[in-house]
Amino acid sequence: MSMLEIINMTKLYKTGDGVKDINLTIREGELVTLLGPSGCGKTTILRTIGGFLNVDGGDIRIAGQSIIHLPPEKRPTSMVFQAYNLWPHMRVFDNLEFGLKLRKIPRAERARRISEMMALVKMSGMEKKYPGQMSGGQQQRIAIARALLLEPQVLLLDEPFSALDAKIRQQMREELRKIQTDLNITVAFVTHDQEEAMALSDRVVVMNKGNIEQEGSPQDIYHRPQSRYVADFIGEMNFLQMPDKKVLAVRPEHVEVSPGSGGDLDGYVRTIMMLGHYIEMTVDTDHGIVKAFISDEQAQSFGRGDAVTLRFGRKQEYTTP
């Protein structure tokens, strides 16, 4: 079942930036990530869903009902921002209770829901603390709990983990994914972090200058990029200029390195660098520098300046304009 439908939606600013004729469907229980660089339109789409921006054209529907005429507080959505947006003068319990009070939920029911949600986000016992007494990761857990307490049909997340350090960010991703699947929540997630998008999503929507460049599963986006833009934006990619305006694209993990010559491309070892569980080798060729990921065992066989030949596994071709 389709939970969220965006139909020919346009939102343009006075500068001419924005999004135009956006069509996107998110199914019930699906986590879809809008991915792209700053200014590509991903946050604009999220804010039109939440009602923080009015659309210039088209429609947005949740569970088959148009919501574009509704103010944010009347929409069946809840939004979590990068900056947490917790009230600093209110304790955690009061922050969580505020929205439930507005909806006239009985006091006992409010307390029960808050207790259950605090356990879900692993924050039980923190109800009497103020936001300023907690870490960034703890504050973001509370912000997510506050959004989920409103039982939205669609949860909107705008770069929620970008202010956290790498280790906490990874932990928060894992916890969010578990909560999302356990509760079967429909989520629209915005990020510029490709690793985050690939790790979290059922589907990824790659944005470019106000348009959807490609959408698909993380595997499709990574292994079958439909344009050079997507190939360049997602993961690492070697681009080799070939004759007839052809550009060959091959990922470093699909480059096989052997001593000697006679493969797809010959060259000389330029650098060998240890990067954790794999080795990155760069090779000088007549078509440019090629990066390859090899094992530590393989790396022992090579030195800087050695003549090597490269064979390409999975590869794609693009035509230059």
Report CA dihedral (46, 51, 54, 58) to the nearest 10 degrees. 70
pLDDT score recorded for residue 50: 95
Q: Is the pLDDT of residue 293 over 90?
A: yes
pLDDT score recorded for residue 168: 83
pLDDT score recorded for residue 103: 85
pLDDT score recorded for residue 215: 96
pLDDT digits (tens, 9 = 90+) for 206-250: 999 999 999 999 999 999 999 999 999 998 999 998 887 889 999
pLDDT score recorded for residue 242: 83
Backbone angles phi, psi at 291, to 5 degrees: -100, 135
pLDDT score recorded for residue 137: 85
Task: Tell me the β-bridge partners of 35.
Answer: 191, 206
Rounded to two decimals, the pTM is 0.87
pLDDT score recorded for residue 172: 85
- Which has more confidence, 52 or 172? 52
Are the C-beta atoms of 51 and 77 separated by less than 8 Å?
A: yes
Which domains does the chain show, CATH number per domain? 2-229 (3.40.50.300), 237-319 (2.40.50.140)
pLDDT score recorded for residue 321: 62
Residue owning tokens 């659309």: 55
* Amino acid identity at 304: R
Q: Is the pLDDT of residue 82 over 80?
A: no
- Name the average pLDDT for the chain: 92
